[in-house]
Amino acid sequence: MTAGAVALATAAVLAVPQSARAAETSPIGFGAGTTGGGSASAVTVSTLDAFKSAVTGSTAKVVKVNGLIPLSGSVDIGSNTTVLGVGSSSGFTGGGLRLKKVTNVVVRNLNISKPLAPADGIEVQASTKVWIDHNSFSADRDHDKDYYDGLLDINHASDNVTVSWNTFKNHFKGSLVGHSDNNASEDTGHLKVTYHHNWFDNVYSRIPSLRFGTGHFYDNYVVGAETAVHSRMGAQMLVENNVFRSTGVAVTTNRSSDVDGYANLRGNDLGGAATEISRVGTFTSAPYGYTAEPASTVVASVTGGAGAGKL
């Protein structure tokens, strides 16, 4: 390689933000401080029975999943747990994981596919301090929209969640935050979620759909959505430095619910997508430290760094 070629290659690497070249070792955003099982000795499992046994209880634990395990329904995960896929092709298919009334859970590097209803790929219910990072969620769009359930749903006043560097592909209902218009008494003041550096590819809607809560959606790449970000029932959303392609509506605040949501937009590359902002919100500054890379580098960062096998 000539000296000039070396210089060009070096410049290209340096042009990619540091976040794309090294996976975070701890969550950024509302889920900051989540440690899961921390430094507990890891146990590796390859069967459903072994996995169920390993993730129960609230003692600190790190559970490594080796291989693709079929599920029927959902498996409950205990508090103070890290679930970590081995390699690039380990995980679960046919069902999902449920975090119900737990705290301090990390889920990383898993393939989670085709969660048959009523199971979600991951459901976070009445839980706090959750980090969902570098997973590959997928289904197909060969069935009706209710054949599979959500890829990632967060509900019942869950709080302090970060969703980072995941891929969501080939699905109708991507990520629902807040399950019902009628749950204001429980959800108001909760459902604080950060989404950053995720890749939504051929996901029809709910990218995400947020009721009542506070959502920060930055540096994500959305391709092929009908309706992407949806703020409803008074939710506050900051939508920052994202890229949208082949998308009908990038952000809406006035669909499908009796009460509109709020949204603030800045630095996005809409790629010709429409926006429907009926109410501009007050959430303009996130209450934590982060660095949002410009939209011009998001596609390279996300396609190069998101999903299982990219840690």
Catalytic residue among 98, 206, 211, 232: 206
User: Which stretches of 132-236 are DSSP H helices?
Assistant: 184-187
206 counts as catalytic = yes
DSSP 140: -
Q: Report, as residue numbers or ranges, the catalytic residues.
A: 206
